[in-house]
Amino acid sequence: MKAYRADLLDFTATPAWGDAAADEAVRFREDHWLLVDDTGHIAGVQAEPPAPGIEQEDWRGHLLLPGFIDTHVHSPQIGVMASYGTALLDWLNNYTFPAERAWADPEVAARGSAHFLDALLAHGTTAAVVFPTVHKGSADALFAAAAGRGMRVIAGKVLMDRHAPDGLRDDVMQAERDCVDLIQRWHGQGRNSYAVTVRFAPTSTEAQLAMAGALCRADPTLYTQTHVAENRDEVRWVGELFPEARSYLDVYARAGLLHRRSILAHGIWLDDNDRAALRETGAQVAFCPSSNLFLGSGLFDWASMLAAGAAVSMASDVGGGTSLSMQRTLADAYKVQALVGSATGQRLTAWTALHAATRGAAEALDLGHEIGSLEPGRLADFTVWRWSANSVDTERQRLARDLHEKVFAWMTLADERHLRGTWVAGRRRYDARDITAWPPADRERRAA
């Protein structure tokens, strides 16, 4: 048994939209102890000091949260973040596809997967839904690296059999064989789960989409991940390629890819019928505000999605997104919702934002029994943060008038530099005090 002393924040339910009051869904336990047993599970939370003989870590004056869950991110795209001057379709051709082609090399895929996961941990993210590349080896490398770190990862080989350059296309039969082999090898092994991974509708033929849907029908424990309605030019292109479909989302529904474990990134340009389909099937939208702003894709209307009864989770979408930091992502989400809700005065609260990146994401992924909160019995995936790290946010924290103002200021001003440590299943996987635990590129810079 081990005990960690800090200010504990998590959620017991979904906070009310637009309500900054700390309602019963918000659970803040100042100066409490988190108890973690020897199996890596949370044993309890208490105000009184732990019993003699229990190992202690005193993080008094720090914030302890469940590990962040990033529901849409691309492992090969760290190297193309902050690339200048294109919208979505040009971005893919100019930056994304060249970067992904390199992952055909098993050594590149192994090295890149390790760097990617270490970078997630160094930003406070302990679970992720990940796109590797079209190459089977890229998924193998990612799952192996995740298993070595004990992380919860949902991923799958990307499916693309058209409208992609040489070296990044597969075919239906080979792709099916690769998926089946990867499912047998990795799905449900440790904390790995397989997602049938369609890049987006334009890069898959109807035959490939049908194959992907058949895989999902054969095993309802599989996930689906793809992109939908991110960019208006993309939406028009899908309409030309699939004239029989009512909408972009309907392309996936017709193929059997819209179900309880579907994660659809973006979802900006959806209509009421699409939102109803999301509610009826239980599929979720991964909101990617940083990427949407950076690529000029549009403004996602979170409140309308929730009003329709559809689930929303949070995603960095690196490399279209410009940081793996969930705080930066949430700060961008607030700005997007301020624009969308400007006529009504609605604002995204820190409670709704943080819930969507922790418990809300876990429940949308059917993983609420495992991660996302500080409940006894959950795996001890958690993070410890400074409330402030410089004179500016220290002063802002001093002036905060209530709990929401304090947490909102932290969410807006903090980033990975506030992180002190990341624990996965009770084991410390990142320690800001130890540069040997940093991602390799960061270690080399610090050493120099």
At residue 266, the 3 state secondary structure works out as strand
- pLDDT score for 423: 98
CB-side exposure of 325: number of CA atoms within 13 Å? Answer: 17
Please enumerate in sequence order all residues whose Cβ is within 8 A of that of 25, keeping only pairs 6 or more positions apart, or say none: 11, 12, 13, 14, 15, 16, 351, 355
Q: What is the mean pLDDT of residues 395-410?
A: 96
> What's the pTM?
0.95
pLDDT tens-digit map of 130-143 = 999 999 999 999 99
Query: CA dist 331 to 155, 376, 396, 408, Å?
Result: 26, 30, 16, 9
pLDDT tens-digit map of 329-356 = 999 999 999 999 866 667 999 999 999 9
Query: CA dist 163 to 199, 228, 391, Å?
Result: 11, 16, 51
pLDDT tens-digit map of 148-162 = 999 999 999 999 999
Asked, colleague to colleague, whether 2-67+374-447 and 68-364 share their fold, the answer is no
Find which of 76-85, 344-353, 373-382 is predicted with most confidence, using mean pLDDT: 373-382
Domain boundaries, the chain: 2-67+374-447, 68-364
**pLDDT tops 70 at residue 438:** no
- pLDDT score for 90: 86
**pLDDT tops 70 at residue 444:** no
d(CA 9, CA 13): 13
**pLDDT tops 60 at residue 446:** no
- pLDDT score for 325: 98
Pick the CATH number of 68-364 from 3.30.420.40, 3.30.479.30, 3.30.499.10, 3.20.20.140: 3.20.20.140
What rounded mean pLDDT belongs to the chain? 95
**pLDDT tops 70 at residue 436:** no
- pLDDT score for 88: 80
- pLDDT score for 23: 82
- pLDDT score for 21: 87
List the alpha helices (DSSP H) in 219-288: 232-241, 248-254, 272-281
| CATH superfamily membership of 2-67+374-447 | Urease, subunit C, domain 1 (2.30.40.10)
* 11: Cα separation from own chain's centroid: 18
- pLDDT score for 439: 59
pLDDT tens-digit map of 293-306 = 999 999 999 999 99
pLDDT tens-digit map of 206-230 = 999 999 999 999 999 999 999 999 9
**pLDDT tops 90 at residue 193:** yes
- pLDDT score for 437: 55
d(CA 77, CA 266): 17
